[in-house]
């Protein structure tokens, strides 16, 4: 099937904008928001943020023969003055009320015209792993695109949906949020045929009054559905299931709860070697093994299997696919270093619920040496930060950690105090304010045969520590 052909007239219609200059029939190439990558024939959408204004580059790009620029009303006069009608540039100017909204409207138009089936994923933890697992489960039979990295917000998702111009069979998209109303708009833009709700946790609780308020915001994934829409959701999460009851489409569940459409029983945590379980669905039982770590990832895999079955992928094929999954970078990747040392790099991000799951996995690990935890402060927890960090400190001790290196401020000191209160010797706990200093200490602490978990919020930069360990202990 040929790629969607778009022109400036289509753009002005999709955005409810006004084409004030240029030929409506001018075909556009790529749709970009970064002036540095814009090429002749592309459409440039000028976004404005708190520290930048891309409208400054619009006139220059027109002179470089982009197909057109999308700008807002406020900047229209200045851009037109910079590239007068007498200039030979043939690029068009589309004026809109809001360029972010225009980017979203363009993506929505492409999504509608592509014919692609869209799978959208939300949840407090595991979105990216679930996205990757679903995409892999479908790729054997379909042409699949997925959003790259963390392009899952009000700008990243529209940019990801631009790939639907190639008319793939399926698009697997994660939807991120940290405030109410954001998922609602992303659902409006992406119009998902299948919605996946992994869980509700305490990530971003600092922006909400309670975890129930987070659940209500995540429940926006249920909006704009019809009888043909499918919801795949976590049967083990009471907050998810309470809200899923109002979904107007068809509901498919996964988990360990009796009655789950895709149910795991006889679960065995293999520590650093992954998980195994018996999967029961539609009267069939299969043994499932995945190298992904911990029960949280087992739930992500169950969600992927449920989605695969909705696309009529045979169960045996799905079982084979998940057996070969590998974690996304910095999301539980296991690195085998010298002298039997194993590094679990989970440094991409952290939340209390996710950290507890990671520590539970570490607790099940069978290693010849000790278990070391290098943990960064968890951000965006608001006035609950100290209490939640202290709870996680107790989980550190319960996991059998022999040495804790913690990085951050007052909240992470509560983590250390919680670990000591739960039985970890004070001499086995070290707190640093900077990741660079903690990295040197981690290298000096880890011994042959040890397993070391590195996890923390992105703002704390525990990735620096993971990289230093991988380099110096390779």
Let me know if residue 54 belongs to a domain. Answer: yes
Q: Which of 96, 127, 142 is the last residue of a domain?
A: 96
Q: Are 144 and 277 members of one domain?
A: yes
Q: Are 84 and 150 members of one domain?
A: no
Cα dihedral 201, 206, 212, 217, rounded to 10, equals -90
Q: Are 186 and 242 members of one domain?
A: yes
- C-beta of residue 409 within 8 angstroms of C-beta of residue 300: no
Q: What is the pLDDT of residues 27-76, one digit of tens each?
A: 999 999 999 999 999 999 999 988 889 999 999 999 888 999 999 999 99
Let me know if residue 190 belongs to a domain. Answer: yes
Strands 194-197 and 262-269: unpaired
Q: Are 261 and 138 members of one domain?
A: yes
pLDDT at 88 over 80: no
User: Which pLDDT score, from 0 to 100, does residue 85 have?
Assistant: 65
pLDDT at 1 over 70: no
Let me know if residue 83 belongs to a domain. Answer: yes
Secondary structure class of 347 (helix, strand, coil): coil
The CATH number given to whatever domain includes residue 464 is: 3.90.190.20
List Cβ neighbours of 459 (8 Å cut-off, separation of 6 or more).
379
The CATH number given to whatever domain includes residue 218 is: 3.40.1190.10
Q: Are 181 and 293 members of one domain?
A: yes
Q: Are 123 and 242 members of one domain?
A: yes
Let me know if residue 23 belongs to a domain. Answer: yes
What's the number of domains the chain is made of? 3
Q: What is the pLDDT of residues 5-22, one digit of tens each?
A: 999 999 999 999 999 999
User: Which pLDDT score, from 0 to 100, does residue 89 have?
Assistant: 65
Let me know if residue 2 belongs to a domain. Answer: no
Q: Are 319 and 349 members of one domain?
A: no
Let me know if residue 328 belongs to a domain. Answer: no
Q: Which of 290, 323, 356 is the last residue of a domain?
A: 323
As separate numbers, helices (DSSP H) first and strands (DSSP E) second, the chain gives: 16, 20
User: Which pLDDT score, from 0 to 100, does residue 205 have?
Assistant: 79
Q: What is the pLDDT of residues 392-412, one digit of tens each?
A: 999 999 999 999 999 999 999
- C-beta of residue 466 within 8 angstroms of C-beta of residue 350: no
Domain ranges, residue 369: 333-472
Q: What is the pLDDT of residues 125-153, one digit of tens each?
A: 899 999 999 999 999 999 999 998 778 99
- C-beta of residue 243 within 8 angstroms of C-beta of residue 216: yes
List Cβ neighbours of 159 (8 Å cut-off, separation of 6 or more).
33, 103, 107, 151
Q: Which of 294, 323, 352 is the last residue of a domain?
A: 323
Q: Are 137 and 230 members of one domain?
A: yes
- C-beta of residue 65 within 8 angstroms of C-beta of residue 42: no
pLDDT at 207 over 90: no
- C-beta of residue 182 within 8 angstroms of C-beta of residue 217: yes
- C-beta of residue 43 within 8 angstroms of C-beta of residue 69: yes
pLDDT grade for 204, boundaries at 50, 70 and 90: confident
Token pair in block for residue 368: 């010849």
Alpha helices in 23-84 (DSSP H): 58-63, 73-82
Cα–Cα distance measured from residue 414 to residue 106, given in angstroms and rounded to the nearest whole number: 47
Let me know if residue 109 belongs to a domain. Answer: no
The CATH number given to whatever domain includes residue 74 is: 3.40.1390.10
Q: Are 64 and 136 members of one domain?
A: no
Cα dihedral 454, 456, 460, 461, rounded to 10, equals 40
Q: Are 190 and 315 members of one domain?
A: yes
- C-beta of residue 265 within 8 angstroms of C-beta of residue 271: no
pLDDT at 201 over 90: no
Section 292-305 average pLDDT: 96
User: Which pLDDT score, from 0 to 100, does residue 64 have?
Assistant: 87
Let me know if residue 107 belongs to a domain. Answer: no
Q: Are 16 and 123 members of one domain?
A: no
Cα dihedral 439, 445, 447, 453, rounded to 10, equals -60
Alpha helices in 428-473 (DSSP H): 435-445, 463-472
Cα–Cα distance measured from residue 235 to residue 157, given in angstroms and rounded to the nearest whole number: 27
Q: Are 275 and 358 members of one domain?
A: no
């Amino acid at each position: 099937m040929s790629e969607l052909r778009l022109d400036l007239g289509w753009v002005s219609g999709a955005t409810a904008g006004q084409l004030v200059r240029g030929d409506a029939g001018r075909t556009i190439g790529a749709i970009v928001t970064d002036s540095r990558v814009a090429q002749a024939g592309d459409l440039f959408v000028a976004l404005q943020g708190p520290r930048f204004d891309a409208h400054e580059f619009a006139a220059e790009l027109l002179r470089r023969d982009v197909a057109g620029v999308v700008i807002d009303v406020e900047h229209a006069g200045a851009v037109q003055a910079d590239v007068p009608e007498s200039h030979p540039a043939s690029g068009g100017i589309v004026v809109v009320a809001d360029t972010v909204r225009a980017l979203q409207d363009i993506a929505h138009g492409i999504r509608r015209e592509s014919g692609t089936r869209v799978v959208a994923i939300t949840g407090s933890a595991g979105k990216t792993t679930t996205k990757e697992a679903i995409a892999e489960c479908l790729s054997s039979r379909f042409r699949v695109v997925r959003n790259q990295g963390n392009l899952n917000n009000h700008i990243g998702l529209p940019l990801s949906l631009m790939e639907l111009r190639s008319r793939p069979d399926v698009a697997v998209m994660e939807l991120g949020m940290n405030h109410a109303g954001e998922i609602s708009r992303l659902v409006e833009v992406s119009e998902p045929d299948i919605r996946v709700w992994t869980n509700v946790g305490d990530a971003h609780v600092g922006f909400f009054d309670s975890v129930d308020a987070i659940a209500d915001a995540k429940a926006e994934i249920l909006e704009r559905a019809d009888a043909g829409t499918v919801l795949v959701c976590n049967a083990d999460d009471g907050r998810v299931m309470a809200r899923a009851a109002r979904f107007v489409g068809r509901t498919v569940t996964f988990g360990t709860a009796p009655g789950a459409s895709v149910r795991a029983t006889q679960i065995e945590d293999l520590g650093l070697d992954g998980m195994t379980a018996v999967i029961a669905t539609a009267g069939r039982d299969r043994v499932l093994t995945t190298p992904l770590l911990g029960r949280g990832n087992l739930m992500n895999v169950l969600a992927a299997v449920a989605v695969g079955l909705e696309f009529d992928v045979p169960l045996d094929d799905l079982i084979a696919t998940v057996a070969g999954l590998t974690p996304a970078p910095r999301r539980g990747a296991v690195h085998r270093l010298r002298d039997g040392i194993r590094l679990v790099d989970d440094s991409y991000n952290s939340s209390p619920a996710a950290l507890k799951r990671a520590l539970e996995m570490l607790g099940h690990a069978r290693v010849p040496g000790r278990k070391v935890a290098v943990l960064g402060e968890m951000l965006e927890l608001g006035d609950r930060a100290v209490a939640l960090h202290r709870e996680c400190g107790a989980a550190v001790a319960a996991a059998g950690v022999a040495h804790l290196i913690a990085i951050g401020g007052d909240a992470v000191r509560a983590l250390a105090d919680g670990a000591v209160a739960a039985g970890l010797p004070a001499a086995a706990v070290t707190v640093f304010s900077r990741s660079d200093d903690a990295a040197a200490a981690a290298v000096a602490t880890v011994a042959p045969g040890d397993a070391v978990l590195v996890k923390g919020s992105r703002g704390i930069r525990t990735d620096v520590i993971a990289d230093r360990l991988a380099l110096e202990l390779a």
